Amino acid sequence: MPDFDRELEQRLVRYAAIDSQSDMDSPAQPSTAIQHAMLDLMVQELQEIGAAEITKTDYGTVIATIPGNAPGPTIGFLAHVDTAPQFNATGVKPRVIHGYNGGAISFPDAPDLVLAPEDFPYLATKIGEDIVTASGLTLLGADDKAGIAIVMTAARHLLENPEIPRPTIRVAFTPDEEIGRGVDARLPKDLGVDFAYTFDGGDAGEVIYETFSADFCTVTVTGVSIHPGEATCKLVNAIHLASRIVETLPQATMTPETTADREGFIHAVDMKGSADQMVLRFILRDFERDGLEAKGALVRQVCAAIAATEPRARIDVQIASQYRNMRYWLEDDMAPVELARAALSDLGVAPIEAVIRGGTDGSRLTEMGVPCPNLFTGMQNVHGPLEFVSVQDMALATRLMLQIAQRASA
């Protein structure tokens, strides 16, 4: 199989420099106009490599076909174009450290920032490989532009080599995955596959079929506003009540920074407003439905207790479903998972059993009837300035996509 390293490196550097953050506060679809820069580039590049049936849907997903030449299931491969809104992603300056020497990596735009193998053991396994990072002031966006580079590189290779056996393949690039809105209700029908894979995972070798289940919680605290000079026994400060809600929720046992493995959490992600009204937003996560429901019930309980101390205030709690653990459906049909595992074994790589403390577009697709495990890209430390990815991990993922296609046609 050819060496894909330089193509993947060039693609990732090109894609990562494009600002495409999503925005949870926007009702638009996609949530930000800047995501169209990536979506339109995908259309252009798919045209250039000769893909068929290229469509940009009105809900902002780009879909295309790689025609098959052998019997087999129609398979989808997906990646998302948006980058996380949690950290600065404007003005990304990707850089490549060729032949990483095993030492600490510094950042030109943030002299105090250090990416050290002592702190991140996965980096220590990448000696001699080519490491891509940003410059220190932004995230890199390998989540999920590494996935895009992998899918596009494999698609280009298949289209340039029509003798490689494969069934019909559909590729798709979605917006707004980072805010839980990447899979429109119309996508399963428009995609038209028997099953699919997202390239949106971490360590090389991971084949993921279990994710968090997720809800989004909005708490609106409405106080009583009055001039502070006349506030005696009249003012009800929403900021104080909102702060008490956050402080009353478990801090030592149920936040992302205090949990691990299969433990769920309640994560305060945003707090905005004034003395008159505050809006708090939480993400609720658990691997099991009953655990997720218990976390929502706990937020309601805490809010009710705080509200009882100040009857003049109003505290409203709204909980919306985001996605559910894909395991609930995949455990009934593990064929896509077993296909990926077998393809990895063909490449001489032992599949890694892991769970995602997060979700993917595959979580929603699987729930909507399209089985969709998640595959690795190599990306690490996502959503922050220490994000990095190995080009060689991406190349292995590219070979995995090609091997899955060939195995499916056997």
- Domain end, chosen from 302, 322, 342, is at 322
Instruction: Say if strands 52-56 and 62-66 run parallel, antiparallel, or are unpaired.
Output: antiparallel
Instruction: Say if strands 374-376 and 265-273 run parallel, antiparallel, or are unpaired.
Output: unpaired
Whether 303 and 367 share a structural domain: no
Q: How far is CA 326 from the centre of its chain?
A: 14
Question: In the Cβ-directed half-sphere of 199, how many Cα atoms lie within 13 Å?
Answer: 35
pLDDT in tens, 208-219: 999 999 999 999
Task: State which of 236-240, 373-377, 406-410 shows the largest mean pLDDT.
Answer: 373-377
Q: What is the CATH number of the domain that holds 402?
A: 3.40.630.10
Residue 134's φ and ψ, nearest 5 degrees, are -95, -165
What is the helix, strand, coil percentage profile of the chain, to 5?
35, 25, 45
Q: How confident is residue 248, by pLDDT bands cut at 50, 70 and 90?
A: very high
Q: In the predicted model, is pLDDT for residue 2 greater than 90?
A: no
- Domain end, chosen from 290, 322, 354, is at 322
Q: What is the CATH number of the domain that holds 308?
A: 3.30.70.360
d(CA 285, CA 362): 16
Whether 251 and 115 share a structural domain: no
The average pLDDT across 366-377 equals 96
Q: How confident is residue 354, by pLDDT bands cut at 50, 70 and 90?
A: confident
Whether 157 and 306 share a structural domain: no
d(CA 159, CA 55): 17
Contacts of 27 (CB under 8 A, 6+ apart): none
pLDDT in tens, 15-68: 999 999 999 889 999 999 999 999 999 999 999 999 999 999 999 999 999 999
Whether 241 and 339 share a structural domain: no
Instruction: Please give the single-letter amino acid code of residue 379.
Output: M
Q: Is the dihedral of CA 16, 212, 214, 333 positive or negative?
A: positive
Whether 91 and 118 share a structural domain: yes
Structure-derived torsion over alpha carbons of residues 39, 45, 46, 50, reported in degrees to the nearest 10: 160
Whether 225 and 172 share a structural domain: no
Q: By percentage, how much of the chain surpasses pLDDT 70?
A: 99
Whether 19 and 126 share a structural domain: yes
Q: How confident is residue 226, by pLDDT bands cut at 50, 70 and 90?
A: confident
pLDDT recorded at residue 1: 66
Q: How far is CA 28 from the centre of its chain?
A: 19
Q: At what angle do helices 391-408 and 335-346 cross, to 10 degrees?
A: 120
> Residue 38 is inside which H or E element, if any?
helix 35-49
> Residue 336 is inside which H or E element, if any?
helix 335-346
Contacts of 229 (CB under 8 A, 6+ apart): none
Catalytic amino acids?
82, 177
Residue with tokens 């029509």: 162
Whether 258 and 376 share a structural domain: no
For residue 310, the enclosing domain spans 213-322
Overall number of domains in the chain: 2
> Residue 403 is inside which H or E element, if any?
helix 391-408
Whether 96 and 185 share a structural domain: yes
Comparing 251-260, 372-381, 387-396, which segment has the lowest mean pLDDT?
A: 251-260
Residue 222's φ and ψ, nearest 5 degrees, are -110, 120
Q: In the predicted model, is pLDDT for residue 185 greater than 80?
A: yes
Whether 114 and 262 share a structural domain: no
